[in-house]
Structure 1
């Protein structure tokens, strides 16, 4: 549907209908107020005539008019209720239209994301990531092993135990008798172990492994 070449949307139609419903509701309320004024006027006239003898027919005629006015007023209340119900239904319809528009926009967004992020591409990226992570872990292990071979010297563990025991004794912590009574390594033995470091060939081989990674 279009007016003067302009396409009418559902929102435009709902807005126009709402405007008409509000106008109809105001018209019905105005008519009902007029009926209420007429009702009070008739009631007053009926009471006035009823006090005067000989006005029985006039009172009956005004009473019939009063009944008609009251029926018309009841119809106006029914019409107001009907207008209110239609307005509520239209508001619900407008909410559904907004919901449909939101769902359409969401669907379009999801479709765009699916075009950008294809499932097979995501799966391939995940496989590549896992492969790279595995290679990185392997490289890290090789580096750590090589550094341990270069830096590790015999006697380091024994010296570390001796330092720990000394610190524990200084802060007043009792250590086991076996550790306290353990014989200290001979000076000659320690000197021999300290001098037994890696050979030049082993050191060069380890450095070559690092450069090749």
Structure 2
């Protein structure tokens, strides 16, 4: 559709104008239909009044007018239905256009994205990632082994302390207690007997 400048109007504008025209026509039909319905009610009242007054000629004339009025009301209803059908078709066309534009924009965006993606660079990045990931796994394994070795040494020392404690418990001695004096105390060269000996000292000298 061309305008005064000889250019084609955008489809959106054409659809908008046609929809506006259809809505205007529907409103006009509704006004005409409402007027005919008022006329129908008036004729019905007049026909009843004339029939009561036995004015049969007037009744026949107004009856014909009533029939024509009802026929026009039916036609207006049909015309309104056709206009609404046209409006729905225009709405469908508008939806199709919106979908086509969305698909076109999506295709353009995907094309730009594909051009921006550098496949060799991504491949190199993935290879470097796998290499560094393998190195990290190896480092974690080495550190884990070292920690296990250290904990294993600590466990051995704790086991030794536990065994020593069990032996001392069996002979009724705990750390810090004094060993009882024995009959076989040695006499030092200065002639003074040594006093009680601490278990800790014995353990340290052992």
Q: Shared fold by TM > 0.5?
A: yes
Partners in 1 of 2:137 and 2:38 — Cα distance? 99
Partners in 1 of 2:34 and 2:134 — Cα distance? 91
Is residue 2:7 matched to residue 1:13? no
Per the alignment, residue 39 of structure 1 pairs with 40
Instruction: State the shift of 1:133 in Å.
Output: 4.2
**Any unmatched runs of 5+ in structure 2?**
163-206
Per the alignment, residue 211 of structure 1 pairs with none
Per the alignment, residue 80 of structure 1 pairs with 80
Return the structure number with greater relative CO, CA threshold 8 A, min gap 6.
1
Q: What does residue range 1-213 of structure 1 map to in structure 2 within 5 Å?
A: 1-5=1-5, 6-53=7-54, 55-117=55-117, 121-122=118-119, 124-133=120-129, 136=132, 159-163=153-157, 165=159
Counterpart of 1:105 in 2: which secondary structure?
Answer: helix
Per the alignment, residue 189 of structure 1 pairs with none
TM-score w.r.t. length of structure 2: 0.63
Per the alignment, residue 188 of structure 1 pairs with none
**Any unmatched runs of 5+ in structure 1?**
170-213
Residues 3, 161 of structure 1: alpha-carbon distance in 2 compared, 3 angstrom cutoff: same
TM-score w.r.t. length of structure 1: 0.61
The number of residue pairs the alignment matches comes to: 157
Partners in 2 of 1:52 and 1:19 — Cα distance? 50
Residues 163, 99 of structure 1: alpha-carbon distance in 2 compared, 3 angstrom cutoff: farther
- The CA RMSD over aligned residues, in Å, is 3.2
